Structure 1
Amino acid sequence: MITFMLVASLILFGVAVGIALYRIIAGPTLPDRITAMDFIGVNLISVIGVISVLFNTLAFLEAILVMAILLFISTVAFARYIERGVIIERKRDR
């Protein structure tokens, strides 16, 4: 029974990623597209967690941690880009 629920959740995560891909393609604004990309990243982390439970292993937990850190950094970078137009500001003394 638990295997059926895990497989069903993987299918539903796939549907959610498909809907988010549509939002990336047809999104009217850049923040909509960035939010959809963040949503896809969170769903991929969730899929890896479900696969880890399905295979009964802890080997994927490090991949989840690395993906979560990279996802957070990329979301912050995109937010700064939207807000200011640049990601890293450099002050030049001339």
Structure 2
Amino acid sequence: MSPVLTVALIFSLACFGIAAVLTLWRLLVGPSAQDRVLALDYLYCIALLAVLVLGINNVSAMYFEAALLIALTGYVSSAAMAKFLLRGEVIE
């Protein structure tokens, strides 16, 4: 692996870490429930991207399968939270 790619991967992981901390702040302090749901949605996107970068860094396909599971779980949980905020119940 080239040194430029290694530096780029480390830089991107650092940026994802900073974004995750700021998103956790919004999740904990958010003024409304909608802000918290969006912060949670963004947090799973950050986790997905961080796992993909780790997969590129370690040259392993297992990370990409984990990223797929994170994406599916995040989508379903975002849809469930949006339905709960709109109607007050998830299962009808």
TM-score when normalising by structure 1: 0.92
Q: Corresponding residue for 1:51?
A: 54
Off by >3 Å, runs of 4+ in structure 1:
none
Deviation at 1:25, TM superposition (A): 1.2
Match of 1:64 among 67, 81, 89: 67
| Alignment partner of 1:11 is 2:14 | yes
Equivalenced residues, count: 89
- Please give the root-mean-square deviation of Cα atoms over the aligned residues, in Å: 0.6
Structure exhibiting the larger radius of gyration computed from Cα positions? 1
Unaligned runs of 5+ in 2: none
Aligned partner of 1:18: which letter?
V
Match of 1:37 among 40, 43, 54: 40
Deviation at 1:61, TM superposition (A): 1.2
SS in 1 for 2:60: coil
TM-score when normalising by structure 2: 0.94
More displaced 10-residue stretch of structure 1: 58-67 or 14-23: 58-67
Aligned partner of 1:68: which letter?
A
Q: Corresponding residue for 1:25?
A: 28
